[in-house]
Structure 1
Amino acid sequence: MRGRGTARDGLTGVALLGVLLAAAGNAAATGRAGGAVPYRTAPGAQEVRGSASSAGGPLLKPGAHVYTDSVKPGERKYYTVELDARSSAYVSAVAVPRPGSTMGARDGIDVALETADGTRCGVGRHRTFLSAGGAYPVADYAERVVAAGGACKAAGTYRFAVQRGEAAGGDGAAVPVELAYAAEAPEPAGAEAAPPGPSGGWSSRPPSRPAGPAEPVTGGSGFNDAAMIRPGGWKDELRPGETRFYRVAVEAGQQLFASARFGAEQAAAAGPFVTNGIRLGMNNAARGYVTNRIAGYQGRTATVSLATPPAASGAGGEAGRGMRRPGWYYLQVSLNSKVGREGSGGVPVTLTVDVAAAQQAGRGERGAARRTETAGSHPDERLRAIGYAGVGTGSLLLAGLGGWALAARREDG
């Protein structure tokens, strides 16, 4: 079995995956009768209280453990993790504003992993609420990747810090956060390296519409109950202020292409134009950021699309970082609360997804890249192993290839 190119080097705690997913899915379906459904934390998540001092903080354990806390504007909280000298570590935070709330222009979260003396392990990550087009859930991780010359290689006690931005001009209430720690086992001695991906640029063709009608699906409220989908067309309905989550399996060397079309065909404009009205975002299985795409919306049919580098190809940039491993990837489809009055009805959305073997731009464009149905419809044991059950749906590891980006689209920073 291959080393870096396969999903066999999964994260701990996979055994609870199915149980957590089923429980979360049932809860989400029950609560979708009213307005926008809020983010649902993992079943059995443990409530903790981060420390205001860098000298302390509750211990976060890897594997089948998820934790919840809250953070006020300008507040910085610390948590403790124990790292060995061999495993890579990914400690994530998901910040969840109330659906429909207004957030300050500088509001968001910063995450960082540090040694006991304050040395930062890699680059800290910053995610703002408004940069995604509205008060949507935002997530990312801080990481310690074991590599030659890498930082924080020693075993010991480390601290994970979460800091919230300023709420000026927005909601000053504390925002719930969901925390998880994924530990990735080191490569065994003699493991084969992954085959190299194609050199140069990759195809950024948009996914073609499936021949048949889109299948109905109900997206999850978050990472913990995300609906599993395969390549093809899917139809859902979102209310203003709502975000739906879907998960797609991607093998090493494959690219993921996705587009979300909002509004019914032949629909007339209704209501004011909302600059950041619709969104299609993506995170990896450890909740690391990959990309966000947004566009304006006024009721007419509008589409946002994205394409990724091949998984496990060693590509640079944020998207390449996020696509480091094969496994589950999480699509988020969001509708801005300003699009319509809460309770005024839903907006139909058609989600088109394609997973295909990577091809170099200019060579594979004339022939459709090979679609790999098995990656999305029947993930095998290697793909299941990549998730960590504490996140609920099997979650691991993700600039953009926006050659076909719409003029109204911009990417989250």
Structure 2
Amino acid sequence: MGRRTAWWRVAVVGAVLGAVAGAPGTPGFAASVSPTTVTSPSASASPSSSTSASPSSSPSSSATASSYAFAEGAPSVTGATDTADAERLEPGTTYRSSLPSDGKVYYRLVLDGSSTVYVAATAVPPTDAAVTPTEGVRVSVQDADGRSCSAADTASIGAGRSPRPLTVWAARQLPSNRSLCRGAGTYYVVVERVLRTESAPGDWDLELAPVSEPRLRKAASTTSAPEAWDSATPSPPGGEGERRRGGGGFGSATALKQGVWRDEVRPGQTLFYEVPVDWGQQVYATADLSSASGGGAGGFVPGGVNLALYNPVRGLVDDTSISYNGSRKSGALAAVPPVGYDNRYAVSDRVGGMRFAGSYYLVVHLAERVGEEFGDGPFGLTLRVEVTGTATAGPGYAGQSEPSGIFQVGLLGRGSGAAEDAGASDGDGGGGAGMKLVAAGGIGAGTLVLVVLGVWVVVGRRRAAGA
């Protein structure tokens, strides 16, 4: 009987734990007690794993090494040489494709007449490609008559002359001053290589990330950018910092909050981090690269380190390049305005890019030529991140974005006193119902487990006393 009773106890607790772990939307028991709360699960892999993308998942026929971690499970699409054969992209889904060395490739969008749609394209040269500073990639969104709905965005390799992921973005923005881009219908994403001179013929890998932004519940009170904002750069946080391993792509970016973070980077490597920035907040960042351990006196690499800030839809906000001569170097991003909906009306990318709340991305690249001059490293990297300002309510969207929640800041980086609206849409300044349900589920699951364990102990003691 004693053995049967013990097995009964184990069976009950096992059943409860299994039910808790299997409940929809409820974190597993093991996950609920994990001490790691800053680094995102997708970013747990070492950055070196970003070079091991499966060749079978690539639409390119060439099995070239990639320096970028593409979104896991991203469907493949083939860029068409004309609009008639263009494959459709759905906002909220990230795609993998390839970009030829010559000519344009086309993808199709079917849009409504009320949402703004952004498309980011990340082009990835092979790690062994010979590239020039001026060559790069361009993207635009065009209407059915081939007219651009916004200025085409171009990114180039830069002074470091190092193959690296290049990200550009384009939009069909509403309201629009271009009449043919206002209505519902078919639009086209156009991507092309520009100023190719040295790199060998062949495809570059390509990641496409279309995002939709719903209209506001109430029309914006202004259609002009703010005239004044605090442009003073605060002193960066001090201290040694905590270790974090950067991710290999946007989809696997390592989550950071305000503070000092240490990592290592090798020549030719690009590391991705994400920082939550809410409505009304400003973000500042600096990157410090350690001195070369092997000396390297006399060596010099223009643009040896590149630090960039991208917004939640992967639009470039600002970047800076740091030349490297083997000694410790530091570079800082310029001050950017607080996140605000009306920033989108500014001409400057540094202001216009700060148009919505969400995860902002810090991207660091160390040029391959640093390895030629100063050895393979790794080199110590320190990121100093500061987020200032009190989070405010968002503009109030009339619907959900695609992907859902991209313009929200969740629990990460939020003050304990921040208000949350359980029914909030994107941009309402709250974590939304989803995070509340997860939290409630986790608390309820933990309580249930403790109750069962408590009953088990009490019953066991009473039976032992009776015996």
TM-score (norm 1): 0.75
Aligned-residue sequence identity (percent) comes to 31
Q: 1:150 deviation in Å? A: 4.8
Structure 2 spans left out of the alignment, 5+ residues = 1-24, 26-38, 53-64, 391-408, 428-467
Report the AA paired with residue 323 of structure 1: M
Q: Which of 165, 171, 195 does residue 137 from structure 1 map onto?
A: 165
**Counterpart contact for 1:133–1:279, Cα < 8 Å:** no
Q: 1:218 deviation in Å? A: 0.3
Report the AA paired with residue 354 of structure 2: M
Quote the residue 1:259 is aligned against. Answer: 286
Report the AA paired with residue 101 of structure 2: P
More strand by percentage: 1
**Counterpart contact for 1:136–1:243, Cα < 8 Å:** yes
Structure 1 spans left out of the alignment, 5+ residues = 1-14, 16-20, 359-372, 387-413
**Counterpart contact for 1:219–1:226, Cα < 8 Å:** yes
- Two-structure CA RMSD over aligned residues (Å): 3.4
For the structure 1 residues 334 and 161, does the alpha-carbon distance in structure 2 shift closer, same or farther, using more than 3 Å as the test? Answer: same
Quote the residue 1:338 is aligned against. Answer: 369
Q: Deviation string for 1:227-255 (max 9, x for gaps)?
A: 00011100000000111000011112222
Quote the residue 1:364 is aligned against. Answer: none
- In the alignment, structure 1 residue 249 sits paired with structure 2 residue 286: no
Quote the residue 2:49 is aligned against. Answer: 31
**Counterpart contact for 1:51–1:79, Cα < 8 Å:** yes
Q: For 1:314 and 1:269, how far apart are their aligned partners in 2?
A: 48
Quote the residue 1:396 is aligned against. Answer: none
Q: 1:137 deviation in Å? A: 0.9
- In the alignment, structure 1 residue 157 sits paired with structure 2 residue 186: yes
For the structure 1 residues 28 and 263, does the alpha-carbon distance in structure 2 shift closer, same or farther, using more than 3 Å as the test? Answer: closer
For the structure 1 residues 50 and 185, does the alpha-carbon distance in structure 2 shift closer, same or farther, using more than 3 Å as the test? Answer: same
For the structure 1 residues 100 and 235, does the alpha-carbon distance in structure 2 shift closer, same or farther, using more than 3 Å as the test? Answer: farther
Quote the residue 2:123 is aligned against. Answer: 95
Quote the residue 2:111 is aligned against. Answer: 83
Question: Residue 43 of structure 2: SS of its match in structure 1?
Answer: helix
Q: For 2:308 and 2:41, how far apart are their aligned partners in 1?
A: 25
Which of these two proteins has the greater Rg computed from alpha carbons?
A: 2
Quote the residue 2:148 is aligned against. Answer: 120
Give 1:287-306 correspondences, 5 Å limit. Answer: 287-306=314-333
Q: For 1:256 and 1:208, how far apart are their aligned partners in 2?
A: 11
Q: Which of 235, 242, 267 does residue 215 from structure 1 map onto?
A: 242
- In the alignment, structure 1 residue 45 sits paired with structure 2 residue 45: no
Quote the residue 2:357 is aligned against. Answer: 326
Report the AA paired with residue 99 of structure 2: V
Q: 1:75 deviation in Å? A: 2.2
Q: Report the more deviating stretch, 91-100 or 239-248.
A: 91-100
Q: Which of 398, 408, 413 does residue 377 from structure 1 map onto?
A: 413
For the structure 1 residues 23 and 173, does the alpha-carbon distance in structure 2 shift closer, same or farther, using more than 3 Å as the test? Answer: farther
Quote the residue 2:251 is aligned against. Answer: 224
Quote the residue 1:62 is aligned against. Answer: 91
**Counterpart contact for 1:197–1:253, Cα < 8 Å:** no
Q: Report the more deviating stretch, 100-109 or 287-296.
A: 100-109
For the structure 1 residues 83 and 198, does the alpha-carbon distance in structure 2 shift closer, same or farther, using more than 3 Å as the test? Answer: closer
Q: For 2:186 and 2:361, how far apart are their aligned partners in 1?
A: 30
For the structure 1 residues 244 and 175, does the alpha-carbon distance in structure 2 shift closer, same or farther, using more than 3 Å as the test? Answer: same
**Counterpart contact for 2:103–2:192, Cα < 8 Å:** yes
Q: For 2:295 and 2:389, how far apart are their aligned partners in 1?
A: 38
Count of matched residue pairs: 349
**Counterpart contact for 1:233–1:351, Cα < 8 Å:** yes
- In the alignment, structure 1 residue 274 sits paired with structure 2 residue 301: yes
Q: Which of 233, 239, 253 does residue 205 from structure 1 map onto?
A: 233
- In the alignment, structure 1 residue 176 sits paired with structure 2 residue 205: yes
Question: Residue 314 of structure 1: SS of its match in structure 2?
Answer: helix
Report the AA paired with residue 299 of structure 2: P
Q: 1:318 deviation in Å? A: 0.9
Q: Report the more deviating stretch, 270-279 or 243-252.
A: 270-279
Q: For 2:362 and 2:370, how far apart are their aligned partners in 1?
A: 21
Quote the residue 2:266 is aligned against. Answer: 239
Q: For 2:294 and 2:340, how far apart are their aligned partners in 1?
A: 41
For the structure 1 residues 209 and 266, does the alpha-carbon distance in structure 2 shift closer, same or farther, using more than 3 Å as the test? Answer: farther
Q: Deviation string for 1:124-156 (max 9, x for gaps)?
A: 111112357632211121101111635411000
Q: 1:301 deviation in Å? A: 0.5
Report the AA paired with residue 361 of structure 2: Y
Q: Deviation string for 1:160-193 (max 9, x for gaps)?
A: 10011233123433110001211111112x4786
- In the alignment, structure 1 residue 286 sits paired with structure 2 residue 313: yes
**Counterpart contact for 1:24–1:42, Cα < 8 Å:** no
Report the AA paired with residue 84 of structure 1: D
Q: Report the more deviating stretch, 339-348 or 45-54.
A: 339-348
Q: 1:292 deviation in Å? A: 1.6
Question: Residue 84 of structure 2: SS of its match in structure 1?
Answer: coil
Q: For 1:266 and 1:41, how far apart are their aligned partners in 2?
A: 32
**Counterpart contact for 1:197–1:310, Cα < 8 Å:** no
For the structure 1 residues 375 and 258, does the alpha-carbon distance in structure 2 shift closer, same or farther, using more than 3 Å as the test? Answer: farther
For the structure 1 residues 207 and 228, does the alpha-carbon distance in structure 2 shift closer, same or farther, using more than 3 Å as the test? Answer: farther
**Counterpart contact for 1:134–1:276, Cα < 8 Å:** no
Quote the residue 1:4 is aligned against. Answer: none
Q: 1:199 deviation in Å? A: 3.9
Report the AA paired with residue 285 of structure 2: A
For the structure 1 residues 150 and 81, does the alpha-carbon distance in structure 2 shift closer, same or farther, using more than 3 Å as the test? Answer: same
Question: Residue 212 of structure 2: SS of its match in structure 1?
Answer: strand
Report the AA paired with residue 210 of structure 2: Y
For the structure 1 residues 171 and 302, does the alpha-carbon distance in structure 2 shift closer, same or farther, using more than 3 Å as the test? Answer: farther
Report the AA paired with residue 381 of structure 2: V
Report the AA paired with residue 382 of structure 2: T
For the structure 1 residues 303 and 133, does the alpha-carbon distance in structure 2 shift closer, same or farther, using more than 3 Å as the test? Answer: farther
